[in-house]
């Protein structure tokens, strides 16, 4: 267990490290911390621990069994990461393998607020993902969270999908990757339409039609980005549902 003093020391050194590398280079992909400094030694020791953890995880075949271990492993790096994030808030950052792996783990064990906080930092400062992923971080975050939502519809909350889209907006990635996120959003909005309660406090102004219209927009965008994404039946169903709604539902029942 990491002591309170050790946690404070890690956090402060991470904060100092971000400032030191920001002074050395404006790019976060600058050479990592010099090993002959206390900051460099701290980072090097944590990287050794990280790679020990990765080797331990690779020995476990069960994806389900890895989740609790990743949560436990992540706790050891939390003070360092808090320091890195604080440095980021001051506009200072360096390439950080520890933060990036903890982002990946947080997605795996579904701590969405933490994952998106790390993702925002990584994307803002153009950090690189591990070579094995062969994708930029915006692409990895958008595609993997979308795939999880499509494979397990209750795995990713609706608001998380919306936040991910905002986070990756404007970043270059293959069209099929972004199409997956729009498809996931289309289906999430459709589920919200199916569960619509007009008496609910958070009911949208446009009623059920508002959800259906959003779903249709995302389905059309997904198809525009990747015609083989598999949303043609979604589009037909959504258009049919919108035509069926009357004026009291926030739209007309005119035929297309």
> Residue 17: pLDDT band by 50, 70, 90 thresholds?
low
Residue 127 lies in a domain: no
Residue 256 lies in a domain: no
pLDDT at 6 over 80: no
Mean pLDDT (the chain, rounded): 86
Residue 191 lies in a domain: yes
Q: Do residues 79 and 163 share a domain?
A: no
Domain-terminating residue out of 52, 74, 109: 109
* Model confidence pLDDT, tens digit, residues 147-171: 999 999 899 999 999 999 999 999 9
Q: Do residues 201 and 238 share a domain?
A: yes
Residue 172 lies in a domain: yes
Q: Do residues 4 and 103 share a domain?
A: yes
Number of folded domains that form the chain:
2
| Low-confidence winner among 89-98, 109-118, 154-163 (lowest mean pLDDT) | 89-98
Residue 30 confidence (pLDDT): 37
* pTM above threshold 0.85: no
In sequence order, the 6+-apart residues with CB closer than 8 A to the CB of 214 are 185, 189
Mean pLDDT along residues 244-256: 54
Alpha-carbon radius of gyration of the chain:
22
Residue 156 lies in a domain: yes
Mean pLDDT along residues 210-227: 98
Whole-number percent of the chain with pLDDT over 70: 82
For the record, the structure tokens of 127 come out as 């950090």
Domain-terminating residue out of 109, 125, 154: 109
Intra-chain end-to-end CA distance of the chain, in Å: 64
Residue 256 confidence (pLDDT): 37
Residue 234 belongs to a domain with what CATH number? Answer: 1.25.40
Residue 13: domain span: 1-109
């Amino acid at each position: 267990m990491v002591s309170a003093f050790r946690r404070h020391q890690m956090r402060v050194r991470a904060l100092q490290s971000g400032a030191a590398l920001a002074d050395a280079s404006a790019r976060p992909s600058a050479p990592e911390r010099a090993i002959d400094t206390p900051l460099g030694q701290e980072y090097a020791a944590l990287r050794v621990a990280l790679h020990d953890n990765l080797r331990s995880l690779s020995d476990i075949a069960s994806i389900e069994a890895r989740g609790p271990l990743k949560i436990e492993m992540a706790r050891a790096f939390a003070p360092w990461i808090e320091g890195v994030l604080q440095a980021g808030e001051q506009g200072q950052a360096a390439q950080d393998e520890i933060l990036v792996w903890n982002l990946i783990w947080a997605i795996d064990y579904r701590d969405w607020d933490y994952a998106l906080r790390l993702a925002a930092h990584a994307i803002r400062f153009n950090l690189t993902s591990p070579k094995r992923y062969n994708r930029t971080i915006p692409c990895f975050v958008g595609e993997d969270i979308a795939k999880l939502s499509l494979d397990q519809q209750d795995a990713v909350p609706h608001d998380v999908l919306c936040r991910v889209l905002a986070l990756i907006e404007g970043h270059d990635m293959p069209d099929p990757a972004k199409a997956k996120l729009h498809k996931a959003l289309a289906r999430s909005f459709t589920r919200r339409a199916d569960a619509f309660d007009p008496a609910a406090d958070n009911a949208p102004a446009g009623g059920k039609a508002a959800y259906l219209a959003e779903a249709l927009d995302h389905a059309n965008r997904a198809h525009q980005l990747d015609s083989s994404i598999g949303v043609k039946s979604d589009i037909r169903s959504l258009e049919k549902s919108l035509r069926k709604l009357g004026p009291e539902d926030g739209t007309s029942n005119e035929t297309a």
